[in-house]
Amino acid sequence: MSVKAAHDVLHRYWDGYLPVDPVTIAKAMGVTVVADPFLDHSGHYQRNSGNPRIIYNSSEPPVRQRFTVAHEIGHHVNGDIDAPRDTSKQFSSSSWDPVEAAANRFAAALLMPADHVKYAVFRDGVTDLWALAKTFGVSTVAMQYRLKNLGLI
């Protein structure tokens, strides 16, 4: 469900330019996005009185910030009421929590749309992990997992 949901969100809110801008998408969805450089964790999602809000740590590296916001959009789309205090462990591929794992899958599909990744690899011939990661605005680790999940490595 996470991948289809990400595809639907991209279809409705994305301008088609890479890298995907999760903050712009969240705002277009009616979610308030707050950058907090003093947050003691990566981010969290809240839906207080029907007003959805994403707070993320703006002092973390840009690729982490982008993944955090995309992950929190996943909580919003998946209907999670609150997703407090995302830690680096929750962003791991080995996260055991199904709610967090679903948000991670959503974030990967949102930031690295399958068709665009495949196009970059097959049509443009981009096979350098660092170059792909840079194009999509993600970490090399995130790109490596996405390539593996898409069956490209």
Q: Is residue 78 part of a domain?
A: yes
Domain that includes residue 14, residue range: 2-111
Distance CA 142, CA 153 (A): 13
Percent of the chain with pLDDT over 70: 90
pLDDT band of 85, cuts 50, 70, 90: low
Q: Is residue 145 part of a domain?
A: no
pLDDT band of 95, cuts 50, 70, 90: low
Q: Is residue 45 part of a domain?
A: yes
Mean pLDDT of the chain: 90
H helices present in the chain, as ranges: 2-13, 22-28, 62-77, 98-111, 114-118, 129-136, 140-149
User: Tell me, what CATH number does 36's domain have?
Assistant: 1.10.10.2910
Q: Is residue 40 part of a domain?
A: yes
The token pair that represents 78 in the structure block: 């998946």
Sole residue written with tokens 């399958």: 114
DSSP 8-state code for residue 123? I
Q: Report whether pLDDT(48) > 80.
A: no
What's residue 94's pLDDT?
56
- What is the domain count for the chain? 1
